[in-house]
Chains A and B, each alone.
Chain A
Amino acid sequence: MSRLWTERIRVAFAPAALGIVRARRGAEAAEVVACDAQAGAEAWRGALDAFASAAASWLALRADVSVVLSNHFLRYALVPQDAALRGGAEELAFARHAFAKIHGERSAAWDVLLDREARGPLRVACAIDGELRRGLQACFPPGAKARLASLQPYLMAAFNRRRRQLAAPAAALLLLEPGRACLARLAHGRWTRLRNLRGEFEAPQTWTALLEREQALDGDAPEREVLVRPHEDSADPYLAMAQCVS
């Protein structure tokens, strides 16, 4: 079946809002849908309800839907590469173990993914609440014309879009959202440090303080590093997040 005339829908999935960008035959439309962040015990419940409502209206469309998950809903870890591990199953189990060491038993309900390969000694792993992942995929039942083409962390979308700028001897990728900051640091294109922090970092003095603190904690880091801040000039953080999907 040809997807040539398929509508492309990109969605930023965040606790307080959905950023939706729809593109079809060169025309693009954007909207921000507010969500109730206090709708349930989980922070994602209100966003999932809003998303399910929106997705229901797309099911009859021939559409590819890509969802960018806010860093609020994800956990990250840098997992050391171990030559003793054989095969993807053992490596994934090792990544799960890394999350369990940090977050305890609650990580058992998380769906963990491990980056396929890395240049350096560390690989990126991420975890999402399994119920959220299943809830998002359930919005596109079999037989629907619309399909969930991608369900990716904000870190992945932003990193892949700007990774060429991160090839410097020292580089930092800073992703700011309302109530959260994610900071990735790399040296010569290799991952060295990854932090996903709750808090208000929108004011420059707060995120510069974060950078200085992380730089100080990373003892081997040189004084000068390239800072990549996607969407620093964007009018709406949710639409910018949605548009960073390539």
Chain B
Amino acid sequence: MRLLTLRGDTPRPLALDYAAPLQRRRWPGAAALAIALAIAAALVIRYGEVQQERAALLARLDLQQAGTRAVRALPARAAGDEAKSIEVVTRQLALPWPEMIESVESAANRQVALLVLQPEPERGTLRLTAEAGTPQAMLDYVRRLGESEALAGAHLVSHQVRRESAARPIQFVAQATLRGRK
């Protein structure tokens, strides 16, 4: 409490300086300082605005580049390939798979093993790769394949004896036409 009282009674500084009139000439410096501070403040504000504009432009640029990348990801040729792939799948899905498989299985016996079944929907054919124990079994299989309800025109495309195997089986490729596809 006493300290507060003393502070409250502290006399003001004496101002009796005879050189003080000379010091008044400092006002141009003070004015220049004030102007410089104002300019500095304006520059700081402008800097903030420019930074915001720059950030916005960068964001827009990123968006544009991302859009370009998206467009580039689907070139015309790729789009065509994709369409073709879709078409192929659609055609394959449209094949009479149950009948076709039934025909192939009914033609097979213990001496013939089916390896690859490769339909070609655009040409309406079925190409298959199989292995037979004897030449006769191979020929009988192709004949039975042609007699089935779903396939016609079955014929032998190629055959080859596998000499690396001790049983020396015959690997052959046969082709038939899908009934109602041509």
Listed in ascending order, the chain A residues whose CB lies under 8 Å from chain B are: 67, 111, 113, 115-119, 124, 126, 128, 133, 137, 147-153, 155-156, 159-160, 163-164, 166-169, 186, 188-191
Is the beta-carbon distance between A167 and B11 smaller than 8 angstroms? yes
Q: Mark B33-49, 1 if CB is under 8 A from A, else 0.
A: 00000000000000000
Listed in ascending order, the chain B residues whose CB lies under 8 Å from chain A are: 6-20, 22-23
A130 to B23, CA, bound (A): 19
A168 to B10, CA, bound (A): 8
Contacts of A169 in B (CB 8 A): 9
Name the residue of chain A whose CB is nearest to the CB of B11. Answer: A189
Known contacts A163-B10, A167-B6, A189-B9; A128/B18 CB under 8 A: yes
A197 to B14, CA, bound (A): 20
A111 to B8, CA, bound (A): 33
Contacts of A147 in B (CB 8 A): 22
Known contacts A117-B12, A186-B11; A149/B23 CB under 8 A: yes
Known contacts A167-B6, A168-B6; A190/B19 CB under 8 A: no
A191 to B13, CA, bound (A): 12
What would be 10 A-B contacts, judged by CB atoms less than 8 Å apart? Answer: A67-B19, A113-B18, A115-B14, A115-B15, A119-B11, A126-B16, A133-B18, A151-B17, A152-B19, A167-B8
Is the beta-carbon distance between A113 and B12 smaller than 8 angstroms? no
Known contacts A148-B22, A150-B19; A167/B9 CB under 8 A: yes
Task: List the count of A-B residue pairs having beta carbons below 8 Å apart.
Answer: 71
Contacts of A163 in B (CB 8 A): 10-13
Contacts of A168 in B (CB 8 A): 6, 9
Is the beta-carbon distance between A148 and B19 smaller than 8 angstroms? yes
Is the beta-carbon distance between B18 and A111 smaller than 8 angstroms? yes
Interface residue from B6, B8, B19, B23 paired with A137 (Cβ < 8 Å): B19
A113 to B19, CA, bound (A): 11
Contacts of A124 in B (CB 8 A): 14, 16
Closest Cβ–Cβ distance, residue B19 to chain A (whole Å): 4
Name the residue of chain A whose CB is nearest to the CB of B5. Answer: A167
Contacts of A133 in B (CB 8 A): 18
Closest Cβ–Cβ distance, residue A174 to chain B (whole Å): 16
Contacts of A126 in B (CB 8 A): 16
Name the residue of chain B whose CB is nearest to the CB of A117. Answer: B12
Is the beta-carbon distance between A152 and B9 smaller than 8 angstroms? no
Contacts of A160 in B (CB 8 A): 13-14
Is the beta-carbon distance between B10 and A167 smaller than 8 angstroms? yes
Contacts of B14 in A (CB 8 A): 115, 124, 155-156, 159-160
Contacts of B12 in A (CB 8 A): 117-119, 163
A-B pairs, top 4 by smallest CB distance, nearest first, are A189-B9, A189-B11, A151-B18, A167-B9
Is the beta-carbon distance between A156 and B17 smaller than 8 angstroms? yes
Closest Cβ–Cβ distance, residue B92 to chain A (whole Å): 88
Name the residue of chain B whose CB is nearest to the CB of A132. Answer: B18
Known contacts A148-B22, A163-B11; A115/B16 CB under 8 A: yes
Is the beta-carbon distance between A167 and B7 smaller than 8 angstroms? yes
Closest Cβ–Cβ distance, residue B152 to chain A (whole Å): 106
A117 to B18, CA, bound (A): 16
Given contacts A149-B23, A167-B10, A169-B9, 13 further A-B contacts (CB under 8 A): A113-B18, A115-B15, A119-B11, A126-B16, A149-B19, A150-B17, A152-B17, A155-B16, A159-B13, A166-B10, A167-B6, A167-B9, A191-B11
A152 to B11, CA, bound (A): 18
Closest Cβ–Cβ distance, residue A175 to chain B (whole Å): 13
Closest Cβ–Cβ distance, residue B149 to chain A (whole Å): 108
Closest Cβ–Cβ distance, residue B159 to chain A (whole Å): 103
A191 to B14, CA, bound (A): 11
A166 to B11, CA, bound (A): 7
